[in-house]
Amino acid sequence: MNNIQWEKTMTDVRVETRGQALWLTIDREAKRNALDDAVLHALREGVESAGGRDGIRAVVITGAGSKVFCAGGNLKQDAEGDPFRVDPNRLDNPVALLLRAIEDCPVATIARVNGHALGGGFGLVCACDFAIAADHARLGTPEISLGLFPLMILPSILRVLSRRDAAKLCMTGKPISAAEAQAIGAVNEALPETGLDAAIDTLVASLAGGAPTAMRFGRRALNTIAEMPYLAGLEYAQRVLPLLAKTDDAIEGFKAFNERRAPRWVTS
């Protein structure tokens, strides 16, 4: 892969720039790339930084190694045997904070599913705009076998899957193959691991070809209209479109079209 710029490791998250993509890699292979507070904070910090980086057009979230994308939350118990003790001084769950950051990210988000994505890991897959999976990966929500239910990631799951497919995954706890995940829309592609990075590069290049401002407007519109009744969505659309048409990128896009040339986007 060309143009790789290593930046730093935030706790157990590697941050690097690869061309026009910011890569965030959960670097806890020995612990199945499990999520803990520090990892969740580092991922959120990385996602939130993307909008302020010149030339970055996508965020890629992945895991170290080739076996596990992310095995979900760290279930290590505290002294009293409770892995989910609530801190009354902390208003928001760190998972919710990360998912909100992904929701608010001004550039596209891509899950590079290098291996199994379970529990919170599956939630990350569903929260991203795109997901490309290695064909050996298995995806699912095993929480029911622990006497739990995947409540924190349920809003993300229900955005991507039908209610029946979501119910089957959540209520049985049985993981599915990457091919099955593609069939129900949980991932965009399932392909051999050797082709994973090339597919990511192709997707990033395709995203980078569009107008940055339109991407920001459009990504927010996709997420907003998806939650609206049909008529409310139409009302929202007709109010936002004139604003988008007045942006520098839209003006340049129309000019380039009429001059029969490639656009030179004003924003980065």
* 189 shares its domain with 230: no
The answer to whether 118 touches 74, Cβ cutoff 8 Å, is: no
Q: According to the model, what pLDDT value does residue 90 have?
A: 74
Percent of the chain exceeding pLDDT 70 equals 91
Checking if the pLDDT of 16 tops 70, the result is yes
Give pLDDT, residue 57.
Answer: 96
Co-location of 152 and 42 in the same domain: yes
Are 240 and 131 found together in one domain? Answer: no
Does 26 lie in the same domain as 44? yes
For 147, residues 6+ apart whose C-beta sits below 8 A from its C-beta are none
Question: 75 with 146: CB under 8 angstroms?
Answer: yes
* Residues 223 and 175 grouped into a single domain: no
Confidence of residue 176 (pLDDT cuts 50, 70, 90): very high
Task: Look at residue 225 and tell me if it is in a domain.
Answer: yes
Query: Which of 193, 208, 223 finishes a domain?
Result: 208
- Among 71-80, 131-140, 250-259, where is mean pLDDT lowest? 71-80
Express each pLDDT in 200-235 by its tens digit.
999 999 999 999 999 999 999 999 999 999 999 999
For residue 61, what are the domain limits?
4-208
What confidence tier does 8 reach under pLDDT thresholds 50, 70, 90?
low
263 in a domain, yes or no? no
Q: Is the pLDDT of residue 129 over 60?
A: yes
* Predicted local distance difference test score (pLDDT) of residue 83: 45
Query: Residue 49: is its pLDDT beyond 80?
Result: yes
Whether 196 and 228 map to the same domain: the answer is no
Distances (CA, A) of 33 to 110, 166, 213, 256: 17, 24, 34, 45
Per-residue H/E/C for the chain:
CCCEEEEEEECCEEEEEECCEEEEEECCHHHCCCECHHHHHHHHHHHHHHHHCCCCCEEEEEECCCCEEECCECCCCCCCCCCCCCCCCCCCCHHHHHHHHHHHCCCEEEEEECCEEECHHHHHHHHCCEEEEECCCEEECHHHHHCCCCCCCHHHHHHHCCHHHHHHHHHHCCCEEHHHHHHCCCCCEEECHHHHHHHHHHHHHHHHCCCHHHHHHHHHHHHHHHCCCHHHHHHHHHHHHHHHHCCHHHHHHHHHHHCCCCCCCCCC
Is residue 267 in some structural domain?
no
Note whether 12 and 56 are same-domain residues.
yes
Cα gap 124→102, rounded to integer Å:
9
Looking at the structure, tell me whether residues 173 and 240 fall in a common domain: no
Answer yes or no: do 167 and 243 share one domain. no
Give pLDDT, residue 80: 47
Q: Is residue 265 part of a domain?
A: no
Same domain (yes/no): 135, 254: no
On the question of pLDDT at 82 being above 80, the answer is: no
103 and 21 in a common domain:
yes
B/e letters for 52-82, b = 16+ CB within 10 Å, e = fewer, are eeeebbbbbbbbbbebbbbbbbbeeeeeeee
Residue 191: pLDDT over 60: yes
Which backbone phi and psi does 93 adopt, to 5 degrees? Answer: -65, 135
Indicate whether 25 belongs to any domain. yes
Q: What is the CATH number of the domain that holds 9?
A: 3.90.226.10
